[in-house]
Chain A
């Protein structure tokens, strides 16, 4: 019987499968770094993993804390600066990048900057970081959204997806032809983009989730893929890799914090504090 898996494991493994052997991959903070490590270890040994801080061709031994974490590996092949990381993206040498999303619209444009008014924020979010430039110039982008929202109009337009849909991105002349987001991964399912209209299309649903569960989050009439299916289940090898390599991510943030706080507390007690 196949192994059972957590939602976090499903998300990481689904993202990892988007990385193909030989691709140049920019990893973002969080889930993508673990997905990248899994891809490199299991099915894409010749992928070149890199981070915008200028560390290239890394083979992480533990999950990186963030995008400048050279402590997660034992050396790496090329040390360059942030400026060169983005100019190599501009020149077309980056195949895949990953970005987290706070708000997304029908055509894959994203907001990671603010909820509410920009100048008088209801909630100030991190901002662009590398997102706007990566989503502009990487050949393809994998979007991940956990706790974000689908909206008709973004509160702030941080990074360009397919603009007004159709051929508007290519027609603008500002981006490499054919570039843009190719997938949105959420806690409920997997979305792709319609080839003609460039709108989000529901392609897969995670186990235990119904199409209606997903529709109720989306303020427009969601397009459903004719071959809609359940998200491909992870293999035992993939699950074992994630648990061994990134145990705190396998269990998920909530349980990780609960166990870590209890562990710290017990250590302090043992020291007599």
Chain B
């Protein structure tokens, strides 16, 4: 995609253009900073038949499965609300036979995306898992969940997982510029691998910043602009999960969600109120403040603790010194051109 094309758009437009029925969709975030606003938009647009990848499928997976968007799930960790008496959307869907799940460990799941990100066809993972039911019990991937091969150098049997290249990644970050250069810091998890393994990338951010900000802090950029298809500015776009430097986990809202999620009716009522009942994140925040008070939102806003600036400076920014002489040869541009002429080195 050309950098001159405008990538800044609304969540509605971004999901409408880049997430299709039947896609392999990966949630870029791991445990924190969940791209909740983008997830809600996928549900409102009623995407169907998704194969969903989520490293830690807690809030995001529960609402997407509860919304009927997902046929197949690849994950390492799913949520269960309310202990023995409780339940989860994943459990209910598996019991109803509407959801198939493939279980991996955190490392194996991430390794599939790392392989995909680098263009490899598989990745070596940690062989201890060969004795477990992760290896022995397989779902829709069957033989291709894992394969064991001899290492060509040591001869030792090694465990491998296949690369994953999802159709689209949706991911929330702290900040991005209008070209899509996306900066994320904190628990890095598998954010970069999930995004870079994917064919299309939709980024939402707490704020869109000037390109200068990105240029002076490239160590924070986890997704380069040329890979990104859409940039959506959504303050509180990860609420009720947290974004480092912006806001904490909303424990009240999170607890209320999981209490509702203990049964299907409860989850449906919660989603009617917070997903279908709010046309976008502005409406969601308005509803939140009307219901729980603006002070509940203020109470979780982060106080600043800035990273020490890294000095990206250099001794000079031009080959020409204060007297306009080239630093190594000691000549002006006019003198250089005269010498080239004198030596017969100029053509045309």
- Chain A positions within 8 Å of B, measured between CB atoms, are 51-55, 65-71, 74-75, 79-83, 86, 90, 113, 118-121, 123-133, 135-137, 147, 156-160, 163, 172, 174-175, 260, 264, 267-268, 271, 273
Q: Is the C-beta of B189 less than 8 angstroms from some C-beta in chain A?
A: yes
Cα of A267 to Cα of B292 in the assembled complex, Å? 9
Q: Is the C-beta of B91 less than 8 angstroms from some C-beta in chain A?
A: yes
Q: Is the C-beta of B248 less than 8 angstroms from some C-beta in chain A?
A: yes
Instruction: Tally inter-chain residue pairs, CB-CB below 8 A.
Output: 166
Q: Is the C-beta of B252 less than 8 angstroms from some C-beta in chain A?
A: yes
Q: How large is the interface on B (under 10, 10 to 19, 20 to 34, 35 or more residues)?
A: 35 or more
Decide if A68 touches B106 in the complex (CB within 8 Å): no
Decide if B95 touches A82 in the complex (CB within 8 Å): no
Rounded to whole Å, the gap between the CB of B73 and the closest CB of chain A is 11
**Among residues 121 to 136 in chain B, which have CB atoms less than 8 Å away from a CB atom of chain A?**
126-134, 136
Rounded to whole Å, the gap between the CB of A16 and the closest CB of chain B is 23
Given contacts A127-B76, A157-B133, whether A53 and B30 have CB atoms under 8 Å apart is: yes
Q: With a CB–CB cut-off of 8 A, which chain B residues contact A82?
A: 30, 55, 106-107, 110, 188-190
Q: With a CB–CB cut-off of 8 A, which chain A residues contact B108?
A: 133
Given contacts A81-B190, A174-B127, whether A86 and B32 have CB atoms under 8 Å apart is: no
Contacting residue for A271 out of B131, B242, B293, CB 8 A: B293
Listed stretches B8-16, B79-87, B205-213, B231-239; interface member: B79-87
Decide if B126 touches A137 in the complex (CB within 8 Å): yes
Q: Is the C-beta of B114 less than 8 angstroms from some C-beta in chain A?
A: yes
Contact with A along B67-95 (1 / 0, CB 8 A): 00000000111111001100010110011
Given contacts A136-B129, A157-B132, whether A120 and B107 have CB atoms under 8 Å apart is: no
Q: Is the C-beta of B343 less than 8 angstroms from some C-beta in chain A?
A: no
Q: With contacts A70-B187, A133-B106, A267-B293 known, what are 4 further pairs, Cβ within 8 A? A: A53-B188, A126-B77, A156-B137, A172-B131
Q: Is the C-beta of B229 less than 8 angstroms from some C-beta in chain A?
A: no
Q: Is the C-beta of B185 less than 8 angstroms from some C-beta in chain A?
A: yes
A-B contact pairs, 22 of them (CB 8 A): A54-B188, A65-B251, A66-B32, A68-B30, A75-B307, A79-B186, A82-B106, A83-B107, A83-B193, A121-B94, A123-B91, A124-B78, A124-B90, A124-B91, A126-B80, A132-B105, A147-B83, A157-B132, A158-B132, A172-B131, A268-B292, A271-B293
The 6 closest A-B pairs by CB, nearest first: A136-B128, A53-B187, A68-B187, A86-B107, A68-B31, A124-B91
Q: With a CB–CB cut-off of 8 A, which chain A residues contact B91?
A: 121, 123-124
Cα of A133 to Cα of B77 in the assembled complex, Å? 14
Q: With a CB–CB cut-off of 8 A, which chain A residues contact B78?
A: 124, 126-127
Given contacts A136-B126, A156-B137, A160-B131, whether A83 and B75 have CB atoms under 8 Å apart is: no
Decide if B133 touches A130 in the complex (CB within 8 Å): no
Q: With a CB–CB cut-off of 8 A, which chain B residues contact A175?
A: 128
